Structure formats: structure tokens, C-alpha cells
């Protein structure tokens, strides 16, 4: 029997879905209630696909860059987006340290000739 993945988001309004009924095909037990799905269930397909690659690459951002053909700042932005979608926020101090680190990464990429000056300006403007 082919099983479909459990949708985590409402196809009509995009809000999170909740599980209200669980059933065991082996013993025919049915449990009804209001159950919260796991954090991964409510992710968009794009976030799930990114996290699959991230895990496959064992969290090595350089490998994720190669696998997806995207830059380091883009990998970080997608990871941050997936984490935020899962409800993992950060406090202001962490954000400031992270932003400083991202600025350095952009400037390092510029100095190595990996990105153009125009791209560096755009990336720096997009930082918080």
C-alpha cells in the first residue's frame, strides 16, 4: 500500500494542520484527540528539501553549497529560514554576532573574487 506524506500545512489557507485521529492497521486501535505534529511536519516542501540536503551533507555548509549550487550566505539564509519555520528563534546578541560574521563572509568572498562588488553590496544590504 503506497502511503502519502502527511501534509503539515492547510492547502487552502497555509496554516498549520493538527492531527485529530490516529489508527493502527495491525490491531485496529483508533485514538482521537488533538495532537500536535512534529516540527518537521509543518515545514514547506522547500524547507524539507533543503534540510534533507543539509543532513545528507552532515551539516557541512561547503558541501551544501556544492550540492545545491548556491553561495554560503544563501545556505545560511535557507538554514535560518528553516529554523525559524520550526520555531527556533535567537536572541538579539546572537543575531548581532551572526550578522557580523555574515558581513565578514561576504567581504571575504569579495576579496577572493567569488562575488562581484555589486553582489556584495546587495548581500550586505540584506543583512539585518
Render pLDDT for 37-61 as a digit per residue (tens, 0 to 9).
788 877 888 999 999 999 999 999 9
- The whole model's pTM is what? 0.56
- Answer whether residue 65 shows pLDDT above 80: yes
Q: Are residues 58 and 106 in the same domain?
A: yes
Are 48 and 102 in the same domain?
yes
Domain count, the chain: 2
Predicted local confidence at residue 3, as pLDDT: 76
Same domain, 9 and 38: yes
Q: Are residues 64 and 86 in the same domain?
A: yes
For 4, the domain range is 1-42
Instruction: Indicate whether 48 and 109 sit together in one domain.
Output: yes
pLDDT digits (tens, 9 = 90+) for 17-32: 888 998 999 999 999 9
Task: Give the residue among 42, 44, 45 at the shortest CA–CA distance from 18.
Answer: 42
Amino acid at each position: 500500500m503506497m502511503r502519502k506524506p502527511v501534509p503539515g500545512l492547510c492547502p487552502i489557507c497555509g496554516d498549520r494542520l493538527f492531527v485529530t485521529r490516529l489508527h493502527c492497521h495491525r490491531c485496529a486501535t483508533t485514538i482521537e484527540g488533538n495532537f500536535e505534529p512534529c516540527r518537521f511536519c509543518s515545514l514547506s516542501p522547500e524547507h524539507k528539501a533543503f534540510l534533507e540536503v543539509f543532513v545528507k551533507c552532515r551539516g557541512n555548509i561547503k558541501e551544501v553549497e556544492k550540492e545545491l549550487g548556491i553561495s554560503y550566505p544563501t545556505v545560511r539564509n535557507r538554514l535560518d529560514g528553516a529554523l525559524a519555520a520550526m520555531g527556533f528563534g535567537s536572541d538579539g546578541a546572537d543575531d548581532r554576532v551572526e550578522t557580523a560574521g555574515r558581513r565578514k563572509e561576504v567581504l571575504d568572498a569579495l576579496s577572493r573574487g567569488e562575488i562581484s562588488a555589486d553582489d556584495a553590496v546587495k548581500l550586505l544590504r540584506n543583512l539585518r
